[in-house]
Amino acid sequence: MSLNSPIEPDAARPESVEPVTLSDRVNAVINPTADPSPDAAAATAAKFAEKTGMPQSRKQNSAAFTQPETIGLFGSRKDSFSQRYHLTRRGKLKRLTQIAQIVNQFDIVHGLTPIKMRLMLEALGPTFVKVGQILSMRSEILPQSFCDELSKLRADADPMPYGTVLQVLEDEYGRPVGEIFEHINATPLGSASLAQVHRAKLSTGEDVAVKVQRPGVRETMAQDVSIMRTIARIAAKTMHSAQVVDLSGVVEELWDTFESETDFLIETRNLAEFKRFCERYKYMDCPKPYPELCTEHVVVMDYVEGISVSHPNELIEAGYDLKEIGTKLVDNYATQVLDEGFFHADPHPGNIMVRGGQIVLLDLGMTGRLNAKTRSVLKDMIFAVAKQDSPALADGLLRFAGAEADPEDYPALLADLDVIVKEFGTVDLAELDIAAMLTALTQMAQRHGIEVPSTVTTVGRALVTLEGLLDEFIPDVNMIQIISDHIAASTSKKDFAKDEAKSLVIEGHQALHSLLTAANELKVASRMLTRGQLRVNMELVGSQEPIHLLANMVNRLTMALIVVGLFIGSSIVYYAGIKPVIFGIPIVGFLGYVIAFILSVWIVFDIYFKGRSNKKR
């Protein structure tokens, strides 16, 4: 069976709503604390939702009628992290005690094996599961054996009660669930630490999947992140180590990732954008979202019923060619990463299904983006390794870091790149392990203080996941060969000529502007020269040592002249017979002789010892 694509109908639009009177809106803003109870706030929100006819999210229900952020004569109210997520010292201490008990059970004082670390993170909860997933791609922090084990982490969790799901939906929409859904299956399709997915049918007849976020999950995550920030801050003060700094970076990366994953409106936009991308490929698809029913905590999308790529036997029985599926999947993924710059960041088997001759990608909560510069650098670096060109590889790394990149030891950088080139550049391009190469380059760049974009790490993680999928379920497909062919095909002679012509135009434009700028600066310099205002700052490279020696010679000569002067002056005083006298010599002359003698001895010793030290060099 070949892979092709169907055409999906457009989503329904929301109906028109009744206008809200000005007095209703003014009272809701000016008098938010008329009844400070939560029930009163919810009732006010429900009344407002009834008048507008629009769904009121849980976030709006809980926060819209509380004290908002204000501005005033003395500045705005500061909204701290703890206030935003209602974190208290007592709550953090209680959570810290729980963490300490679990950590103590795994006896980390006597060491952790990779398996024990994975089990411990699973026991600690969703926050630490996410930490482990991020650490699995940070081999500059953990040994590779730990990274490999942590890559097995999955955020599976016990399902939340069906009643909780219905309550969340009612809170989000501000109206009974029955007005929107004809039916919602009580048994979830899947349950993770972040959200739960149920099959449902809309009142308009569409078969959909409803993804519902667990109540309070962001607050729980914020509490754990706050604790980890405190620990990282204390560690940074007590241990001046690069790994502590990296730990702080991982914590911030964790929070940024989780904050975006818990905002389901971002996933809705990702689904819509990826749906538009798939329209150009008959064999690719993704679920269509229903934006009018999506909120920050709920996503409603088309239900996809197909065969997971993790069941190759079922695919074969259904008449599919596994090699065709694998080849088209990898080629399209190369298009996402290297051509479009917008890609699915978690292509594990559970997120890839085959339905009606199409490969369908699910769960667009984790996506990555690469700008044109990063995509170009990635391609150039792959071919630099294949050509065993260390300077070109170094140029690619420095292009990643930008204009501020200035490695302290460029020869050492080239030497380390030579090692990577020998390891990966001696194989055929078709056998090049791009994921391992990116990992090695990231570790090496870290040692030299070169900041590689986090999106490159995301690409490496996605490639490792995709390669593992193919090795296990579709072993006849060579991912690296397909990506290499894709790069080669996208850089044909015609395209290469276009790129070169474009580069020449850009470089010519820059050169012309540089030439005009130089001419203008030359005009200014000549005007200053004619007015006698021109000053020249000159630095002789390598001249510091000769200048230092010359300064020492001048100092010794000066001291010698002073000694001679003291001897001559003291002798004149001696023959003049000026009183008082000591040892038959006038006191003034005696002091002159003593000072001249001390300085003479100092000059002799200085010449002797400095001469010996120079010979040793």
The answer to whether 505 and 340 have CB atoms below 8 angstroms apart is no
Rg, the chain, Cα only: 36
Instruction: State the architecture of 155-215+263-303 in CATH terms.
Output: 2-Layer Sandwich (3.30)
Residue type, 324: E
Q: Which of 100-109, 311-320, 356-365, 499-508 has the lowest mean pLDDT?
A: 499-508
Tens of pLDDT along 393-412?
A: 777 777 766 544 555 667 78
pLDDT of residue 486: 83
Output DSSP code: residue 192.
B
Report the C-alpha gap between 343 and 340 in whole angstroms.
Answer: 8
pLDDT of residue 65 exceeding 50, the answer is no
Which of the four pLDDT bands, split at 50, 70 and 90, describes residue 137?
A: low
Element holding 207 (H helix, E strand): strand 207-213
pLDDT of residue 301: 97
Residue type, 530: T
Please report, rounded to a whole number, the percentage of residues in the chain having pLDDT higher than 70: 73
**What does the DSSP assignment read for 355-381?**
ETTEEEE--TTSEEE--HHHHHHHHHH
Q: Which of 5-14, 309-318, 349-358, 429-438 has the lowest mean pLDDT?
A: 5-14
Tens of pLDDT along 74-129?
A: 455 545 777 777 788 888 888 889 888 998 898 887 888 889 998 998 888 878 88
pLDDT of residue 358: 95
**What does the DSSP assignment read for 303-335?**
----EETT-HHHHHHTT--HHHHHHHHHHHHHI
Which of the four pLDDT bands, split at 50, 70 and 90, describes residue 23?
A: very low
Q: Which of 8-22, 213-227, 277-291 has the lowest mean pLDDT?
A: 8-22
Dmax over CA atoms of the chain, in Å, equals: 128
pLDDT of residue 273 exceeding 80, the answer is yes
Selected residue with higher pLDDT from 582 and 541: 582
Output DSSP code: residue 156.
B
CB neighbour class for 527 (10 Å; exposed up to 12, middle 13-18, buried from 19): exposed
* Of residues 268, 271, 314, the one with CA closest to residue 291: 268
Please report, rounded to a whole number, the percentage of residues in the chain having pLDDT higher than 90: 23
Report the C-alpha gap between 13 and 16 in whole angstroms.
Answer: 9
Distance, C-alpha 527 to centroid of its chain:
50
Would you say how long the chain is, in residues? 617
Q: State in Å, rounded, how far the first CA of the chain is from the last one.
A: 79
Selected residue with higher pLDDT from 395 and 318: 318
Give the residue carrying structure tokens 């030497």. 415
Angle at 265 between CA 301 and CA 251, to 5 degrees: 120
Tens of pLDDT along 175-190?
A: 999 999 999 999 999 8
* Of residues 288, 203, 298, 292, the one with CA closest to residue 15: 292
Neighbouring-strand partners of residue 302: 208
Tokens of 505: 């135009």
* Alpha-carbon torsion (543, 546, 549, 555), positive or negative: negative
Which of the four pLDDT bands, split at 50, 70 and 90, describes residue 463?
A: confident
Compute the half-sphere exposure of residue 425: CA atoms within 13 Å on the CB side of its CA: 19
pLDDT of residue 311: 92
Which of the four pLDDT bands, split at 50, 70 and 90, describes residue 434?
A: low
- Measured CA distances, 184 to 167, 208, 210, 292 (Å): 13, 9, 9, 18
Contacts of 542 (CB under 8 A, 6+ apart): none
* Alpha-carbon torsion (170, 176, 182, 185), positive or negative: positive
- Mean pLDDT, the chain, rounded, equals 77
Selected residue with higher pLDDT from 568 and 360: 360
Give the residue carrying structure tokens 């000005």. 22
CB neighbour class for 463 (10 Å; exposed up to 12, middle 13-18, buried from 19): buried
Neighbouring-strand partners of residue 307: 354
The answer to whether 345 and 461 have CB atoms below 8 angstroms apart is yes
Compute the half-sphere exposure of residue 20: CA atoms within 13 Å on the CB side of its CA: 15
Report the C-alpha gap between 128 and 221 in whole angstroms.
Answer: 9
